[in-house]
Amino acid sequence: MELRHLRYFVAVAEERHFGRASALLHVTQSTLSAQIQALEREVGGRLFSRTSRRVELTEAGALLLPEARRALAQADRALQVARESVHGEAGTVRIGFSGVAVLQGVLSDDLRDFHRAHPRVGLALTELPPTAQIQAVRDGALDLGYCPDLGLGDTDGLHVTHRAPTPLSVALRTDHELASASAVTTSALRTHELIVFAGSEEDETVLSRLWPAAEEDRSRVRLAGSTLGALALALAGAGVALVPTATQRITLPDLTYRPLHGAPPGPDLLVLSRHDETSGAVHAYLDRVPAP
């Protein structure tokens, strides 16, 4: 049985006339009759009783009609769902993110823009360190990742979009000796403990990207696994935290922020995706991600 057999059957059942049904279906009457006969052979009995004036359903035909309508409606629905997916109008986009993407407003801006254009697409968010995002996108557990470029390492098979720059500032206790300055210079930090967000507390590759000079004296550098972890260490008096400037949106008692002068440019915020992506919703999302 093919779907067209059911469509032809329903048309004849509703019109009660082969001529009108064939015109509605844009097929010849002989073609329509042949398809109904093929369906009756498969069923094993007649579906219509034909007279010179009218076509009536047999008992088998009457029982088949509601089932045929449901089958056709479900087939149409399946086709519509597939079409919506291809055109980015259905499905879910799974996104990993680092906190800085939220603090900078980049992620929320992108989400808002996409949701307005594609309100029926689901959005699932998971906060993860940068290296974990790479693996999750590559393995298919995530569709996209928002993370700072902290020496990510192997990104083979992934498409990397530079979304926005991430300027740096310092966070320190309000009673720290550097807190009285309007800005902090890199030279002033050479005699102080430095706290750096590395995505994980074992990832020292970040130092070569954020603070090359610190590699000369690794003993005075503490690595924090999260931005909040870096702020907590700064509040504990363990040093001066090197953080994205957007982190100033987080206000904590006894914590202050100062501009950082003379530091290397901060890492770009990246959007990670797969080169071989097939999801229409993900492609629709990426189409709306602006360049820096």
Q: Give the model confidence (pLDDT) of 163-184 as tens digits.
A: 998 888 999 999 999 999 999 9
Could you tell me if 176 and 194 lie in one domain? yes
Helix (H) or strand (E) segment spanning residue 259: strand 255-261
C-alpha 206/C-alpha 190 separation (Å) is 18
Report how far residue 255's alpha carbon sits from residue 236's, in angstroms, rounded to the nearest whole number. Answer: 10
174 and 255 together in one domain: yes
Same domain, yes or no: 34 and 71: yes
Residue 291 confidence class, pLDDT cut points 50, 70, 90: confident
Average pLDDT over residues 19-28: 88
How far apart, in whole angstroms, are the C-alpha atoms of residue 247 and residue 227? 8
Domain range enclosing 150: 92-165+272-287
CATH number, domain at 64?
1.10.10.10
Give the mean pLDDT of 79-96. 79
Judged by average pLDDT, the poorest of 2-11, 100-109, 138-147, 176-185 is 2-11
Average pLDDT score over residue span 50-62: 84
The pLDDT assigned to 215 comes to 54
Whether 267 is covered by a domain: the verdict is: no
Q: Is residue 167 within 8 Å of residue 266, measured between CB atoms? A: yes
Residues 6+ positions from 62 with CB-CB distance below 8 Å: none
Cross-strand bridge partners of residue 100: none
In a domain, 52, yes or no: yes
Q: Are residues 228 and 187 in the same domain?
A: yes
Q: What is the pLDDT of residues 206-239, one digit of tens each?
A: 555 555 555 556 677 888 878 888 999 999 999 9
Residue 292 lies in a domain: no
For 243, residues 6+ apart whose C-beta sits below 8 A from its C-beta are 168, 169, 170, 171, 197, 227, 230, 231, 257
Q: Taking 70 as the threshold, does the pLDDT of residue 285 lie above it?
A: yes
pLDDT at residue 121, rounded to an integer: 92
- Rounded to 5 degrees, φ, ψ at 207 are -60, -40
Are the C-beta atoms of 166 and 104 separated by less than 8 Å?
A: yes
Residue type, 241: A
> Do 147 and 277 reside in the same domain of the chain?
yes
Asked if residue 97 and residue 81 are part of one domain, the reply reads no
| Among 55, 86, 117, residue at a domain's last position | 86
Residue 189 maps to which CATH number?
3.40.190.10
Q: How far apart are CA 107 and CA 2, in angstroms?
A: 47
Average pLDDT, the chain: 86
Q: Are 96 and 142 in contact (CB under 8 A)?
A: yes
Question: What is residue 205's predicted lDDT score, i.e. its pLDDT?
Answer: 47
End-of-domain residue from the set 86, 102, 124 = 86
Q: How many separate domains does the chain show?
A: 3
Does residue 79 share a domain with residue 98?
no
Q: For position 142, what pLDDT does the model report?
A: 96
Any domain includes 266: no
245: DSSP letter = G
> Using an 8 Å Cβ cutoff, are 167 and 160 in contact?
no
Asked if residue 256 lies in contact with residue 174, where contact means CB atoms within 8 angstroms, the answer is yes
